[in-house]
Amino acid sequence: MAPSVPRTCAAAALRMKQIALDNQGRTIRRLRAQLATERRGLATMKKELEDTQVALEASHKVIAGLTEIGLSMSKKIEKMKVKKQLAKANHVECHQKFQARIHEAEDSMQAQHLLIEALVDEKDSLLQTIHGLQEANNSPAPFDGDWEEEPEEEPEGKEIEDIPLGEGEIDDEYDIF
């Protein structure tokens, strides 16, 4: 009975490592889906900014054209100048807001990219540990390395839920967040 105890412990440790690896794989897929959503949002914001810029440039051209035509009445000229200044102020304000949102999205994407890299590194480390345990126990490989699935698309606007811990799964001691 004593020779089977180390094998049982090693099998349990191997299973715990595989569960941790599966959890990290799901986390990576969720983060990749979230990153894709962020990228789509960034592209939309960029398009909105370009549309706003085109509209404001067109507005500026109309104001400049009316001024060049030479409206004779000073009240109309003053109103046009005020409109032009307001449009320019709104343009600057909109531009600053969109730039801030773009930078915020880029920072978020960069942080997610770093997190994904850390998870991939942790996955590689776990795979090496599993492989070492398998070699030490002369066990066959439970998977061949081509097991990674495509990330599941999550609907936009839906928050990512935590994966519940079930019986036999690894808790926060292996969590890298």
Contact 38, 112 (CB under 8 A): yes
CA–CA separation, 119 and 81 (whole Å)? 56
Percentage, residues of the chain above pLDDT 90: 45
Instruction: Give yes or no for residue 125 having a pLDDT over 80.
Output: yes
Q: Tokens 């990153």, residue?
A: 35
Task: Lowest mean pLDDT of 76-80, 126-130, 150-154, name the range.
Answer: 150-154
Per-residue pLDDT tens digits for 87-115: 999 989 988 998 999 999 999 999 999 99
Contacts 24+ apart (CB under 8 A), 128-136: 129/17, 130/14, 130/17, 130/18, 130/21, 133/10, 133/13, 133/14, 133/17, 134/14, 136/10
**Can you give the pLDDT at residue 1?**
45
- In this prediction, residue 71 has a pLDDT band, given cuts at 50, 70 and 90, of low
pTM (2 d.p.): 0.31
CA–CA separation, 57 and 46 (whole Å)? 16
**Can you give the pLDDT at residue 100?**
92
Task: Lowest mean pLDDT of 12-21, 50-59, 165-174, name the range.
Answer: 165-174
Mean pLDDT of all residues in the chain? 80
DSSP letter for 173, please.
G
**Can you give the pLDDT at residue 151?**
59
- In this prediction, residue 80 has a pLDDT band, given cuts at 50, 70 and 90, of confident
Virtual CA dihedral for 74, 75, 76, 81, nearest 10 degrees? Answer: 90
DSSP letter for 16, please.
H
CB atoms within 10 A of CB 21: 22
Task: Lowest mean pLDDT of 39-48, 82-91, 141-150, name the range.
Answer: 141-150
Q: Which CATH number fits domain 4-136: 1.20.140.10, 1.10.287.1700, 3.30.70.580, 1.10.10.10?
A: 1.10.287.1700
CA–CA separation, 161 and 76 (whole Å)? 58
Instruction: Give yes or no for residue 9 having a pLDDT over 60.
Output: yes
140/105: higher pLDDT:
105
